[in-house]
Amino acid sequence: MTDTVARALDAVPLRVTDPEKIPAERYYDPQFFELERKHLWPRVWQMACRLEEIPEVGDYVEYSILDKSVIVVRGKGGVRAFHNACSHRGVRLANGPGNCAKKGFVCPFHGWRFNAEGECTFVFGKHIFSEAMLNAAETDLVPVRCEEWAGCAFINFDNEAPPLLDCLGPIVTRLNARHVDRLKMDWWFGTLLPTNWKLAMEAFQEGYHVMRTHPQLEALSPPGFSRLGPDADAPPPAETITPRDLVNLNIDFLKSVGDGMAGMVHHTEVAVLEKLRDMDVPDDPQAAIMAFYARAQEEVTKDGLARGAPMFDIAKVNAENEFHDVEFMFPHFFLLPSLAAMSSYRIRPLTAETCFFEIWSLVLRPEGEVYETPSEPTILPYDSRDFPEIPQQDYSNLPIQQLGLHNFKHMRLSHEWEGLISNYHRLVDGFLAGLDRETLRKAENTVNSGYNSPIRDIGF
């Protein structure tokens, strides 16, 4: 680290100086939140919408982040994004989703109009304006950088930022192999959480919490083990546990994940797994589990292909690519693969102690299959029983954690299992310090990873 970088980082208030300790004030201090608003969100790639939300020419959505609002629209030449403000006197043109193919965007104040390419197509009373005020540079909507990946449109307010895929890094190869661009929405929920946006993400950056927060999953761990590995506090495995019992236990576990989170194990996949309860299994317990997962991947692949889904060979992809069942993409986006389906999360800050949290269930659906794709999230209270079981359990912890943070100084992290939390916090500090784009891009490539990651050297 150069002296210049060190000085810039030292100027960041509440910065992470010990990678295993996170200052609690970062989650509620208004000044720190203001620094994020000014120096983080204007410089990062953000998942703005799923492309399924805008399938037809003229379809648009509004993406908001703090005080910024962006229109993402499908034009004749593809998907573009614009600042959501009339070029005349700044009135917002879009509030929510819609289609502008017939009338364009019409300013409700003075009637100026704009097409899906952002061009100003009508100014009432042109003669009252000077010629300089009516050239395209003055009247067209101001573009926002927009790039596509994983079936989503991403935006960035920084015109000099490296391209999206360069910032995402190796995670792109892992997820492209799983046909991430062909996933379709099954359902979409949203909620307002009384929690800082960073805190809301961190429950999904480590699996250490499963034992207590999701006891229904931990109960389906093999005897003598937890989902973290061998459990020194557990009694030794009972001699009566058989290889077939272990196979059924894993089927029960995957079914429970599907019941609790849907996209992580889709109901079409559970139906295939249930048929494997009577499969022939080796006498050795470890060999039996390996045989089950090999067969499960094979049968889910075959089932998807038979139904006409754009499937990949699950076993081949898993053999050729590092697998993580939670993948994090800085600063606020998650994809959670298991077999072929996925869940997805997006978290956006609202205030220093509130955020908007969205969850998607995604599936590789056969082309042409009739399905009513959601156009907006189903908004629920964060404590609603209508959420699947797993987010219900996570949401129950986060508000009381937010309250508890006001009463102590530092979070204490496991350097092995909670390292992703430390890694991304230190990257936030890099943005707040104003480090150069290439240094930040390299750090993003390291931070973008699966959960349960160790603390890593991110370059500064």
Per-residue pLDDT, 239: 58
Which is it for strands 354-363 and 342-351: parallel, antiparallel or unpaired? antiparallel
Indicate the length of the chain as a whole number. Answer: 460
pLDDT at 104: 96
Indicate if the alpha-carbon torsion angle 160, 161, 166, 172 is positive or negative: negative
SS3 assignment, position 318: helix
Work out the average pLDDT over 244-262: 92
Q: What structural domains does the chain harbor?
A: 1-41+164-460 (3.90.380.10), 46-156 (2.102.10.10)
Counting residues of the chain whose pLDDT is more than 70, the rounded percentage is 96
Please give the average per-residue pLDDT across 56-69, as a whole number: 98
pLDDT of residue 240: 73
Residues of the chain above pLDDT 90, percent:
89
Q: For residue 32, is pLDDT > 70?
A: yes
Does the structure show a pLDDT above 60 at 235? Answer: no
pLDDT at 247: 94
| Distance from C-alpha of 243 to C-alpha of 280, rounded to nearest angstrom | 10
Indicate whether 229 pLDDT > 90.
Answer: no
Q: What is the pLDDT of residue 219?
A: 83
Q: Tell whether the model's pLDDT for residue 221 goes beyond 80.
A: no
pLDDT exceeds 70 at position 72? yes
| Structure confidence at residue 228 (pLDDT) | 60
pLDDT band with cut points at 50, 70 and 90 for residue 128: very high
Band (pLDDT 50/70/90 cuts) for residue 160 is very high
Residue 230: the pLDDT is 56
Q: What are phi and psi of 456, to 5 degrees?
A: -125, 160
| Beta strands per DSSP E along 213-329 | 225-226, 229-230, 327-329
Give me the pLDDT at residue 238, please. 52
3-state secondary structure of 400: helix
Q: What is the sign, positive or negative, of the torsion defined by CA atoms of 231, 236, 240, 243?
A: positive
Banded pLDDT at 223 (limits 50, 70, 90): low
pLDDT in tens, 334-392: 999 999 999 999 999 999 999 999 999 999 999 889 999 999 999 999 999 999 999 99
Q: CA-CA distance, 405 to 315, in Å (whole number)?
A: 43
Q: Where residue 1 falls among pLDDT bands split at 50, 70, 90? A: confident
Strands in 333-424 per DSSP E: 333-337, 342-351, 354-363, 378-379, 410-412
Whole-model pTM above 0.85? yes
Q: Report the pLDDT averaged over residues 257-265.
A: 90
pLDDT at site 222: 64
Mean pLDDT of the chain: 94
pLDDT at 210: 86
DSSP strands (E only) in 76-201: 78-83, 98-99, 105-106, 113-114, 120-122, 143-149, 152-156, 184-193
Tens digits of residue pLDDT in 172-209: 999 999 999 999 999 999 999 999 999 999 999 998 89
Q: What angle do CA 258, 262, 268 make, to 5 degrees?
A: 75
231 pLDDT higher than 70: no
